Amino acid sequence: MANKQIIKERRLQDDAWKVVNLVDGVAPFDVCLPVGPLLVPVSVWNAKKACLIAREYEHGTPLGIWLSPEDDVAEIAKDVDDFTVIAVHFPKFADGRGYSTARLLRERYGYDGELRAFGDIGRDQIFFLNRVGFDSFVLGEGKSAEEALTAFNDFPETYQAGADQPEPLFRRRTA
């Protein structure tokens, strides 16, 4: 897993974050935490918050969390400043709940750290994902990251406000 490359800040970068999954039958507080920076599910965060924070405090291991489409982002609203990375999982690219999650994190809960999209995403989702506030991307199996890098420039202008553009076009049109 180490040294895999992801898209971050519109270029390919090495990445060391690992995704911790909750295996069926394992209680969140029983999950064993490998070394290194981790993205943990919300349930694990809730169950092992003290332990995770201690890892950061004592070893400098940064904190990360990942949200599924079902997770209510309001549940971690108070904690967002603790995280270096918040990741949002897209089990199927056609499930668009994560787009709302991202906007809520950025606009409502003021999260300004790395916001990562991962799962079944590819070149054709990047433009909108970027617009709602994602700034790093782990593409689905077999997807070309080089190709995906071109997607940031799909549209030269946008009608709506977004993470990349605080004002909607109608406030910027020159008379």
Partner 1 sequence: MYQYDDYDHAIVQARVAQFRGQTERYLAGELSDDEFRPLRLQNGLYIQRHGPMLRLAVPYGLLSAKQLRKFADIARRYDRGFGHFTTRHNLQLNWVKLPDVPEILAELAQDELHAIQTSGNCIRNVTTDHFAGVAADEIADPRPWAEILRQWSSFHPEFAYLPRKFKVAISGATQDRAAIQVHDLGLQVVRNDAGEIGFKVYAGGGLGRTPLLGQVVREFLPWQHLLTYTEALVRVFNRYGRRDNAYKARIKILVKALGREEFAKQVDAEWSHLKNGPSTLTTTEVARVSAQFAAPEYETLAPDDLCHLGHLREDKAFARWVERNVHAHKIAGYASVTLSLKKPGAAPGDASSEQMEAAAELAERYSFGEIRVSHEQNLILADVPQRELYTVWHRAKAAGLASPTVGLLQDLIACPGGDFCGLANARSLPIAAAIQERFEDLDYQHDIGELELNISGCMNSCGHHHLGAIGILGVDKNGEEWYQVTVGGRQGNAARIGEVIGRAFAAAEVPDAVERLIGAYLAHRHVDERFIDTYDRIGEEVFRNAAYLPKPAHPHQTRKVANG
List residues binding partner 1 (CB under 8 A). 69, 93-97, 99-100, 103, 107-108, 122, 124, 127-129, 131-132, 154-162, 166-171, 173, 175
Q: Which residue has the tokens 């949002």?
A: 88
Structural contact between residues 46 and 28, judged by C-beta atoms closer than 8 angstroms:
yes
The amino acid sitting at 140 is: G
50/94 with CB nearer partner 1 = 94
13/160 with CB nearer partner 1 = 160
Minimum distance from CB of 123 to partner 1 (Å)? 8
Minimum distance from CB of 87 to partner 1 (Å)? 18
Minimum distance from CB of 173 to partner 1 (Å)? 7
53/128 with CB nearer partner 1 = 128
127/145 with CB nearer partner 1 = 127
Cα angle value 67/71/72 (rounded, 5°):
115
Minimum distance from CB of 164 to partner 1 (Å)? 9
Contacts by 82-85 with C-beta closer than 8 Å and gap 24+? 82/53, 83/111, 83/113, 84/37, 84/113, 84/114, 85/17, 85/37, 85/39, 85/113, 85/114, 85/115, 85/116, 85/136
